[in-house]
Amino acid sequence: MQLSRFFKGDRTFAQPIVWVTTSFMVAFHVGAVAALFVFSWKGFLLAMVLWWVAGSLGIGMGYHRLLTHRSYKTPKWMEYFLTVCGTLALEGGPIFWVATHRMHHQNTDKKGDPHSPRDGGFWAHMGWILTGQTMHNDSAGLSPYVPELRKDKFHTWISRWHWVPITILGAIILVAGGWQYVLWGIFFRTVIGLHSTWLVNSATHMWGTRRFPTRDTSKNSFWVALLTFGEGWHNNHHAHPQSARHGLAWYELDLNWYGIQALRMLGLARDVKVPKLHSVEDRKASVPRRLLPETKRRNESRGMCGQQSSTLW
């Protein structure tokens, strides 16, 4: 990693600090470091399980592929369950998260992108959260991007009280196991999850490989995919934002896709959208012609043409 490139001309250092957010982030990082001094295998296992619940079920399958891109459909109770899992990642409520990500797709690497590395690597990673206008309270700016979520009473409620589930979880862990497990299951796990998600915003727009000629700097990163349960195949994703599957080749590990497949097998996911790739060469050379619900891939009328999806989310 070239640190000079990561910090050079970074927009973070020209913006006012948001002290409330920064204070919480500092506290969580201190708690994560403290966890290392009270190590236990049970605490570590708890952290890994909750990392998967929040990062895969919540962020990857819930906030991202379901709520933001509507890559598949689930019963409402399952949608709400995945949303609650997403709040455990401490990345804000669904309205903020989804609106921000849709803004990113609409303005990738251009003016209006909330976290482009062109404003600095650190800015793209976490500076945009710690300084300036993070848009958490900018309802006027966010509203146009999430019309369907604003009409949903649950999503409106959980967006306002997104900190409640993780607080309740922390209290339960404290009563059941003590501070050692809180440090691992809440602080350590949350910090690892945050940086993993932030790496998609920063690293996968700076380093990696490009399969598709998208009009942005998105790249595929195996190591980021490992940390995010499959979200690191970012160039694939920007080429086909509505696809429920991000790892398009057999060797591209995508645990979130496997999770969606599991839901489908259980009858809990339908209208799963995937790219229609004719061959391995198609995967490497061009953007596929169609993106169809998996159950209707032979229906030519549902096709999508062009080098990039005409629908950004």
pLDDT tens-digit map of 138-174: 667 788 999 999 999 999 999 999 999 999 999 999 9
Is pTM beyond 0.85? Reply is yes
DSSP letters spanning 141-176 = HHGGG-HHHHT-HHHHHHHHSTHHHHHHHHHHHHHH
Residue 308 confidence (pLDDT) = 39
Which segments of the chain have a pLDDT < 70? 1-8, 132-139, 278-313
Sequence letter at residue 202: S
Residue 284 confidence (pLDDT) = 52
Sign of the torsion formed by the C-alpha atoms of 300, 301, 302 and 308: positive
Sequence letter at residue 277: L
CA distance 181 to 39: 9
The count of C-alpha atoms lying within 13 angstroms of the C-alpha of 265, restricted to the half-sphere facing its C-beta, is 6
Residue 7 confidence (pLDDT) = 65
Q: Which residues lie closer than 8 Å to 31 by C-beta, 6 or more apart?
A: 183, 186, 187, 188, 191
Residue 180 C-alpha from the chain's centroid: 28
Alpha-helix runs per DSSP H in 53-162? 76-87, 94-106, 121-122, 128-130, 139-142, 147-150, 153-160
Residue 290 confidence (pLDDT) = 43
